[in-house]
Amino acid sequence: MIEAIDKIIKYLNTVDGLEDFLQNDMVIDAVTRNYEIIGEAANQIPKSIKNKYLELPWRQMYGLRNFAIHDYHTIDPQILWEIAEDHLIENKIQLENLLDQERGNES
């Protein structure tokens, strides 16, 4: 999930703002695909972990994946941009903290 977030950030850094993003089908496709990966991975996380880390938007991640896959033709790229701007960095930090905590619990 962290790798997919990093890819989204990298792809979005290749465009010059929202308007440029909306005109770049390749970047939109790449970003959409990585949201799908995040959502599918979120769905595979055990419930025990999801219940332990309620601050992560597990359901929304999977919901975006479903929407991107099943209703791709109606997805609004501006929403993808806004999710990235408003949530991705925070979600990445939360996932990194989750990994650190879970790795610490294995010792």
Cα separation, 58 vs 84, in Å, equals 15
Cα separation, 30 vs 42, in Å, equals 18
Please determine, for residue 107, whether its predicted confidence score (pLDDT) is greater than 60: no
Q: Catalytic residue numbers?
A: 65, 70
pLDDT computed for residue 74 by the predictor: 76
**What mean pLDDT comes out for the span 83-106?**
94
pLDDT computed for residue 67 by the predictor: 83
- What percentage of the chain has pLDDT greater than the value 70? 97
In the DSSP assignment, the letter for residue 46 is -
* pLDDT tens column, 17-37: 999 999 999 999 999 999 999
Collapsing DSSP states into helix, strand and coil, what is residue 57?
coil
pLDDT computed for residue 12 by the predictor: 98
And the tokens for 45?
């996380």
- Residue ranges of alpha helices (H) inside 45-106 are 47-52, 58-70, 77-83, 89-106
pTM listed for this prediction: 0.90
* pLDDT tens column, 68-81: 887 766 789 999 99
